[in-house]
């Protein structure tokens, strides 16, 4: 007989974006492994993207409970975000007001604006526990208020809790462009994180280095919580019916799929393409750079410089997941980006696993860290640090020259099955069993 697990995730289909993939695929495959997920999510999430196609991954047997949040709409939040500021706030009364509103919101809404979801989520959770009586709670974040919700419910109903850090709490606070917190806010969030850790029986991180970092926090809290690493991955079913994936024969297609912001800045690649264009304009004219995903204003400014070069630039906004996979498969090479920021060596963008599934060449521009280790066995990968513009340009020149001359890279065998979503969900199910039996 299957066991029931309450899955707490503020983001869930039809919300789109990379972050929702992890929890959606867990929910998709858990029923095959003897678990019945009961999802608690937001009814009116304040998010930038929706992707109705992701609803196809949610089994009909899965009950989804949606609780209203009191947050303003995403456009309202964006209008006062730091990313929308241009100019000097000291000289612009409107910018000054936005700055003040942002600081007030950051100070009062702890650990994040999604804390305004908790009152409605608590009421809905009461209904779930009264009628469904889940045996386990699985809470995924960000937003990190979801972990607080999971801890509150675990203590109230005496049910084991498993926390899933899709991103590290501390890393998110350091790189999110709209969060500039003071000493009081940081101290409060430290206590909040400690509260969640102490309530959990197990914590899951998405990289090995993140798991090690979280283990130090667990040790400091003196909690008996076990920490595991379960990577993000790819769903083989998403690639099975991808349709026409014929590659462009006229251009060397170099594609980036995902969000461009300060953690994944396009700047090193733009500089390398500028160098390639100056040194080998004819080769540069054979390059088609395709960008698909959300971009901050700063990233759009960087990309604008390419319009004056012989390179063909194609910009897409967010593509639904199926279209994004088609784009990956139609490309000759795929770009992975991580800026030279503190903590970046512990980050592994989730797209890397879908990149593996394509079998295409991967250009990873990132600091040395876990990304480099993961790519070590992938023979069609090229790694470069963000500061090494010359090496990036040289790599592009070599690959485009091969394309122009009709050379093909040898197919290098790579067993990516360990990163399939179903296999990763098996690892999650093992953690659940361990938590319930110990």
Q: Tell me: the pLDDT tens digits for 146-156?
A: 999 999 999 99
Domains and CATH numbers, the chain: 3-233+421-437 (3.40.50.2000), 236-417 (3.40.50.2000)
pLDDT in tens, 259-269: 999 999 999 99
**pLDDT above 60 (res 342):** yes
Radius of gyration of the chain (CA): 22
- Output the pLDDT for position 86: 46
Q: What is the pLDDT of residue 299?
A: 97
User: Quick count: other Cβ atoms within 10 Å of Cβ 106?
Assistant: 17
The pLDDT of residue 79: 56
Contact 319, 292 (CB under 8 A): yes
Structure tokens at 134: 């889940």
Q: pLDDT confidence of 414, banded at 50, 70, 90?
A: confident
Q: Is the pLDDT of residue 428 over 70?
A: yes
3-state DSSP of the chain: CCEEEEEECCCCCCECCCHHHHHHHHHHHHHHHCEEEEEEEECCCCCCCECHHHHHHCCCCCEEEEECCCCCCHHHHHHCCHHHCCCCCCCCHHHHHHHHHHHHHHHHCCCCHHHHHHHHHHHHHHHHHHHCCCCEEEEEECCCHHHHHHHHHHHHHCCCEEEEECCCHHHHHHHCCCCCCCHHHHHHHHHHHHHHHHHCCEEEECCHHHHHHHHHHHHHHCCCCEEEECCCCECHHHHHCCCCCCCCCCCEEEEEECCECHHHCCHHHHHHHHHHHHHCHHHHCCEEEEEECCECHHHHHHHHHHHHCCCEEEEECCCCHHHHHHHHHHCCEEEEECCCCCCHHHCCCCHHHHHHHHCCEEEEECCCCHHHHHHCCCCCEEEECCCCHHHHHHHHHHHHHHHHCCCCCCCCCCCCHHHEHHHHHHHHHHHHHHHHHC
245 vs 129: which has the higher pLDDT? 129
pLDDT for 387? 98
Cβ distance 332 to 403 under 8 Å? yes
**Mean pLDDT, to the nearest integer, of 408-424?**
85
Whether residue 411 contacts residue 359, with contact meaning beta carbons closer than 8 Å, is answered with yes
* Higher local confidence (pLDDT), 296 or 107: 296
| CA neighbor of 438 nearest in space, from 195, 225, 147, 137 | 225
State residue 393 phi and psi, 5-degree precision.
Answer: -65, -40
**Reported pTM:** 0.91
- For residue 129, the Cα-to-chain-centroid distance in whole angstroms is 30
Task: Please tell me the distance from the alpha carbon of residue 432 to that of residue 363, in angstroms, as a whole number.
Answer: 36
Dihedral sign computed on CA atoms, order 356, 357, 360, 366: negative
What pLDDT is recorded for position 92?
59
What mean pLDDT comes out for the span 308-336?
A: 96
**pLDDT at residue 103 is higher than 90:** no
Choose among 114, 125, 131, 118: nearest CA to 65. Answer: 125
Q: What is the pLDDT of residue 90?
A: 52
Q: Which band of pLDDT confidence, cut at 50, 70 and 90, is reported for residue 173? A: confident
- Please say whether the beta carbons of 429 and 30 come within 8 A: yes
pLDDT higher than threshold 70 for residue 273: yes
**How confident is the prediction for the chain on average, in pLDDT?**
91
**Other Cβ atoms closer than 10 A to 280:** 18
Residue 208 CA to residue 261 CA, distance in Å, equals: 24
Distance CA 324, CA 304 (A): 22
Of the candidates 291, 289, 419, the one whose C-alpha atom is nearest the C-alpha of residue 350 is: 419
Amino acid 105: pLDDT: 55
Supply 252's token pair.
């060397």
CB-CB contact of 266 with 294 (8 Å): no
């Amino acid at each position: 007989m299957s066991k029931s697990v309450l899955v707490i995730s503020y983001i869930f289909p039809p919300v789109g974006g990379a972050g929702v993939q992890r929890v959606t695929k867990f929910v998709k495959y858990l029923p095959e492994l003897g678990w019945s997920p009961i999802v608690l999510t937001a009814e009116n999430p304040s998010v930038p993207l929706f992707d109705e196609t992701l609803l196809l991954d949610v089994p009909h047997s899965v009950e989804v409970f949606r609780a209203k949040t009191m947050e303003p709409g995403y456009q309202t939040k964006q209008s006062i975000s730091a990313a929308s500021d241009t100019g000097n706030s000291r000289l612009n009364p409107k910018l000054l007001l936005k700055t003040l509103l942002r600081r007030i919101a950051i100070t009062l809404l702890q650990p994040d604006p999604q804390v305004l979801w908790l009152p409605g989520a608590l009421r809905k959770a009461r209904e779930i526990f009264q009628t469904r009586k889940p045996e386990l709670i699985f809470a995924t974040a960000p937003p990190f208020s979801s972990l607080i919700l999971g801890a509150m419910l675990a203590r109230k109903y005496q049910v084991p809790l498993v926390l899933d850090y899709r991103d590290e709490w501390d890393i998110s606070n350091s790189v999110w462009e709209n969060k500039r917190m003071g000493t009081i806010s940081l101290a409060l969030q430290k206590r909040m994180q400690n509260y969640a850790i102490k309530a959990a029986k197990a914590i899951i991180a998405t990289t090995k280095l993140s798991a090690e970092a979280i283990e130090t926090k667990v040790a400091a809290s003196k909690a008996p919580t076990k920490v595991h690493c379960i990577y993000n991955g790819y769903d083989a079913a998403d690639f099975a019916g991808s349709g026409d994936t014929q590659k462009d024969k006229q251009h060397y297609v170099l594609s980036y799929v995902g969000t461009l912001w300060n953690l994944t800045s396009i700047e090193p690649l733009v500089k390398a393409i500028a160098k390639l264009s100056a040194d080998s304009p004819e080769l540069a004219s054979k390059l088609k750079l395709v960008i698909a995903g959300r971009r901050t204003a700063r990233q759009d400014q960087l990309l604008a410089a390419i319009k004056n070069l012989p390179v063909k630039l194609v910009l897409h906004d967010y593509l639904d997941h199926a279209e994004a996979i088609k784009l990956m498969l139609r490309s000759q090479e795929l770009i992975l980006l991580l800026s030279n920021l503190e903590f970046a060596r512990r980050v592994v963008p989730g797209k890397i696993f879908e990149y593996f599934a394509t079998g295409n060449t991967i250009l990873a521009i990132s600091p040395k860290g876990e990304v480099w280790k993961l790519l070590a066995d992938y023979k069609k990968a090229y790694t470069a640090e963000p500061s090494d513009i010359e090496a990036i340009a040289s790599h592009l020149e070599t690959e485009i020259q091969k394309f122009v001359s009709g050379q093909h890279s040898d197919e290098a065998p790579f067993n990516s099955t360990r990163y399939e979503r179903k296999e990763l969900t098996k690892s999650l199910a093992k953690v659940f069993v361990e938590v319930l039996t110990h």
